Amino acid sequence: MGGRLGGVAIVALVTVGLSGCGSSREAALEEECLAQVAAKAGVEVSDLIVDDRIKNPAGSLDWRGTYPGGEWACAGAMDSDELLSVVVLPDL
C-alpha cells in the first residue's frame, strides 16, 4: 500500500509542477481583468461572476462573466503581462 501512495505523491507533485507553469501569470491577468471590469462597470470585484475561463492551446486566455447590470469579457495572452481587451456590456 505504501508503494501506491508513493506513486500518487509523485503524480501529484508532477501535476502541481506542470500546472504551476504560468498559472501565477494567468492568475495575475485574471485579477487585473476583474479590477478593470469592476472599475468600468462601477461595481465591486466581489460583485463579478466568472462564468468561463478559456485557455486556448494557441496561447490566448479569455474570461467571461456577469455583474449586476450586465456582462463582461477579457482577453489576454499567456506570454504577456497585459490584457489585450476588456469589454463591459451593460444590460439594455
Tens-digit pLDDT profile for the chain (92 aa)? 455 444 433 333 332 333 344 589 899 999 999 999 999 999 999 999 999 999 999 999 999 999 999 999 999 998 888 999 999 999 98
Report the alpha-carbon distance of residue 46 to residue 25 in Å, rounded: 21
Q: Does some domain include residue 12?
A: no
Number of domains in the chain: 1
Q: Does some domain include residue 33?
A: yes
Q: Does some domain include residue 47?
A: yes
Helices then strands, counting H and E runs in the chain, come out as: 2, 4
Task: Tell me the three state secondary structure of residue 43.
Answer: coil
Q: Does some domain include residue 68?
A: yes
Q: Which residues pair with 63 in a beta bridge?
A: 53, 74
Nearest CA to 28 out of 76, 64, 89, 68 is that of 76
Q: Does some domain include residue 70?
A: yes
Reported pTM: 0.73
Report the alpha-carbon distance of residue 60 to residue 15 in Å, rounded: 21
Q: Does some domain include residue 5?
A: no
Domain that holds residue 29: 23-90
Q: Does some domain include residue 71?
A: yes
